[in-house]
Structure 1
Amino acid sequence: MVRSRTPRFDALEAITNELIRILERGVLPWRKPWTAGDSARPLRHTGEPYQGVNNFLLTMRTMMAGYASPYWMTFAQAKILDAHVRKGEKSSVVVYYGQSKTGGDETEADDDDAPRIIRFQKSYRVFNADQIEGLPERFHPKPRVPQQHQESEPIPHMQAFFDAIDAQVSFTGREAYYMPAVDKIYMPEIARFEDPLHFYGVWAHEFGHWTKPRHRLNRDYGDARFGNTSYAREEIVAELCAVFLGQHLGFTAHTLEMNAAYLDNWLRVLKSDKHAIFKHAADAQRACDYLIAASEAGHVASSADVA
């Protein structure tokens, strides 16, 4: 039998190369303010939000293509809804992680043939609702009216979110950074920002770093020094954490400096490891979830003190 020489599709490599091509243009498209319909996150056809790397990828693709709908679905899912993908439309690749057991008898854990957990990754293709004809109106929600914010003034729900987290924060100077040695975040005052949304975007980035220590999420990429690969990996996690947290609260990721060196951080990591964006998006999702839980715990504690 003659075997096909067509190379097997590598979703990790394809997605990583797509991201590299975008970054080599010198842009971070996910930093642009956006909502698709009434949602700040891409949604499955069921209305369930995507998380982790798929959230990041579909957010980026929604923005770059200018889609007005937050909904994504497979060709088959559209067909079930009596709709069809328009001819010539291109799909977007997303990934799925799962696990299965193989071999052995579960009652004999010490046996060489004991069951093993096999983790796997698969990919599938989805289309945005804007690429599909015949969908019910609910898949094309009306755009959300953007809120107006006063210059240099705190935005109440965002400020309350961060204030509720039990962390040391000093508002001083012109630089934003997290100092592990004293477990403290340093931030410029909000008055130094032309747009208060940028203030919260920067603060979210630093809070992303704040989740790293052993007594929190214990995230370790090795000895991180300014400019090295370990440092670059942590910067990607903090950036993606700010993206995910911004979707939750209503701001976009932001840093005080956006230069070639910052883009080089991303490119160096992505070009050396096709698994990187998937691992770091998962780490960023954990960081985001940790901060949301910490803020909610802080609010509960404050309410108990008042009572």
Structure 2
Amino acid sequence: KPWFTEGSLQWPRNLSGREYNGMNALMLMLHCEKEGYTIPRFCTFDCVQRLNKPGKNGEELPRVSVLKGEKSFPVMLTTFTCIHKETKEKIKYDDYKNLSEDEKKEYNVYPKMQVFRVFNVAQTNLKEARPELWEKLEKENGRPFVHEGEMFSFEPVERLIRDNLWICPINVKHQDDAFYSISKNEITVPEKVQFKDGEAFYGTLFHEMGHSTGAEGVLNRFQPTSFGSKEYSDEELVAELCGALISQRYGMAKHIKEDSCPYLKSWLDNLKESPQYIKTVLMDVKKASSMITQKIDQIARDIEREKTENQERTETPKEKVYYASVAYLQMADDTNRLDALKDKGDYNGLLILAKEYYDGNGMDEQYTYASPLQNRGDDLLIEDQHFAVVYNGSVGGTYDVMLKYTEQEVRDHIRRYGVDRASEDVKALAREMAAEQFAEMTRHKMPVFEMPNGDVLHVNYNRDRDSLDVGTMTNAGMTVKHHYPYDHNMTLDANLQGVNEQLNDLEEYREEQQEAEYSGGMRR
């Protein structure tokens, strides 16, 4: 029998969709199992009252309320008050977490345990008063994973095993026992194919991972004990609940292990003797399960990020960026302030200050490059979406403030202004543009010149020479006879027209003058 009704529930959440964690999640799942709730969504009395507001058009909606006689269930929340030691100023805990370690030392942090009373949505008239919301909650409670086939694969855990990412080695072997060895600090489990399905494999693994968190230097639960003792029984309960909680977290059923069944009576007896027993066990379960789910969730995020990055690389290749120098700072009055920020490691502040030197002018193609590092000793200190700052420590130290342009922006600039005074990187892009334009033209029709004398001349763009090469075609290819520099201030058509005009001026291609033939009669 599974710990929780198979396929019945997702992870407990509040009405806005935020997940409960740790002990709260486990207790709410057990509460749902006991009461038969099928939607694990909970709300406080105040939350229920907030649902009673006018509709979108101002109309009055049926009132939502907790059903008469229903009892609430407690959830615990630890809040933190953060007070500055000297100024006594209070800040939010989220802001405190973003402080540096030195800044955190300036605050006293006071934890406070608060208890909130919550109701399951089934304890309200939400289904009748807000049928659309109820239907939405039912759909969201669908099983989080669709397991294809009996031996489905849960990728984050497969990577955890394969890449040895857990706190101890996990050995998957063809044998019959699953166990955690305290002396060797390693987990051994049978191969997945030896289980009836994938869920059974992962549930067993989660159980053993739960044991492994009790190791010395981790959560330190283990004490010298013997098989069958109360301590051993307690540890089995921690591992079983841990396995059940994690399985439920990822949409899998966790059946009670056969070798854990003998401990059921012991667990129930301990609970009857001391209600504090379950609190102690659940605290251990909370710590162990949180440790495991945090690792699995981290791996899942890494996998999702890798997939997204791969998809972006496949679908939309990252556009090349060019760097245009907009301010070259070498005077002490300018560099001293930047030096001070650099020495403190405040690169964000340095970037903000450097941006102030940008005068708002457009791109200067003479100082626009494919890389921000142009000189020996250049060091890219920091960059954001629009700016970059390059430092060179030679000759007292200089700063080059650079504005970033996309390749498309540089291409547009070339079309408007040409490349007469451009950097070599910009000229290289201009040659690439000319080659692309010529290739596009030849896909439709090869450009040829029919000369007045009847010669047919072919033309090709030579990217290395940046020229239009003209010659005649032979079996071995084109024999080049003329080179004409490509003018990037003009279009391809204009360049071809210019070449044609120059060819027509050459003596060798002019029409041959036919001498007039005269025949005179002979006199006798």
- Scaled by the length of structure 2, the TM-score of the pair is 0.43
Judge conservation of contact 2:160–2:299 (CA < 8 Å) in 1: no
Q: Is 1:127 paired with 2:127?
A: no
Question: Which digits, 9 at most, give the CA deviation of each residue in 1:232-282, with x for residues without a partner?
Answer: 222222122213321332213335415641213422442344333333323
User: What residue number does 2:191 align with?
Assistant: 189
Q: Is 1:224 paired with 2:225?
A: yes
Shift in Å at residue 229 of structure 1? 1.9
Q: Give, in whole Å, the separation in 1 of the partners of 2:301 and 2:75.
A: 36
Question: Which digits, 9 at most, give the CA deviation of each residue in 1:14-55, with x for residues without a partner?
Answer: xxxxxxxxxxxxxx763332344xxx2111223211122221
Q: How does 1:221-260 map to 2 (within 5 A)?
A: 222-257=223-258, 260=261
Letter in structure 2 aligned against 1:147: V
Shift in Å at residue 206 of structure 1? 0.3
Helix, strand or coil: the match of 1:127?
A: strand
User: What residue number does 2:72 align with?
Assistant: 91
User: Which sits farther off after the overlay, 270-279 or 124-133?
Assistant: 270-279
Question: Which digits, 9 at most, give the CA deviation of each residue in 1:118-142, with x for residues without a partner?
Answer: 8765544321112212347445231
Q: Give, in whole Å, the separation in 1 of the partners of 2:148 and 2:204.
A: 17
Q: Give, in whole Å, the separation in 1 of the partners of 2:206 and 2:76.
A: 26
Q: Is 1:160 paired with 2:165?
A: no
Judge conservation of contact 1:78–1:135 (CA < 8 Å) in 2: no
Give the one of 204, 207, 211 matched to 1:205: 207
User: What residue number does 1:179 align with?
Assistant: 181
Q: Give, in whole Å, the separation in 2 of the partners of 1:274 and 1:119.
A: 25
Q: Give, in whole Å, the separation in 2 of the partners of 1:171 and 1:255.
A: 22
Q: CA RMSD in A?
A: 3.5
Which has the higher relative contact order, 1 or 2, with Cα contacts under 8 A spaced 6 or more apart?
Answer: 1
Report the structure number with the largest CA radius of gyration: 2
Residue 184 to residue 275, structure 1, CA distance change in 2 (3 Å): same
Q: How does 1:1-307 map to 2 (within 5 A)?
A: 30-36=3-9, 40-82=10-52, 83-97=64-78, 123-133=115-125, 134-135=129-130, 137-139=132-134, 140-142=137-139, 143-144=141-142, 147-151=146-150, 153-157=151-155, 159-163=157-161, 164=163, 165-166=165-166, 167-215=169-217, 217-220=218-221, 222-257=223-258, 260-295=261-296, 296=298
Judge conservation of contact 2:37–2:122 (CA < 8 Å) in 1: yes
Q: Give, in whole Å, the separation in 2 of the partners of 1:284 and 1:250.
A: 18
Shift in Å at residue 179 of structure 1? 0.7
Judge conservation of contact 2:236–2:260 (CA < 8 Å) in 1: no
Judge conservation of contact 2:172–2:188 (CA < 8 Å) in 1: yes
- The number of equivalent residue pairs is 261
Residue 93 to residue 30, structure 1, CA distance change in 2 (3 Å): farther
Identical-residue share of aligned pairs (%): 26
Helix, strand or coil: the match of 2:171?
A: strand
Helix, strand or coil: the match of 1:175?
A: coil
Q: Give, in whole Å, the separation in 2 of the partners of 1:257 and 1:49.
A: 31
Helix, strand or coil: the match of 1:223?
A: coil
Higher-strand-fraction structure: 2
Question: Which digits, 9 at most, give the CA deviation of each residue in 1:208-247, with x for residues without a partner?
Answer: 11122123x2322533322222212222221222133213
Q: Give, in whole Å, the separation in 1 of the partners of 2:197 and 2:210.
A: 21
Gaps of 5+ in 2: 53-63, 87-107, 307-524
Q: Give, in whole Å, the separation in 2 of the partners of 1:120 and 1:270.
A: 27
User: What residue number does 1:9 align with?
Assistant: none
Residue 214 to residue 203, structure 1, CA distance change in 2 (3 Å): same
- Scaled by the length of structure 1, the TM-score of the pair is 0.70
Helix, strand or coil: the match of 1:60?
A: helix
Helix, strand or coil: the match of 1:33?
A: coil
Residue 148 to residue 98, structure 1, CA distance change in 2 (3 Å): closer
Q: Give, in whole Å, the separation in 1 of the partners of 2:109 and 2:156.
A: 41
Q: Give, in whole Å, the separation in 1 of the partners of 2:302 and 2:115.
A: 40
Q: Give, in whole Å, the separation in 1 of the partners of 2:31 and 2:68.
A: 19
Judge conservation of contact 2:180–2:212 (CA < 8 Å) in 1: yes
Helix, strand or coil: the match of 1:94?
A: strand
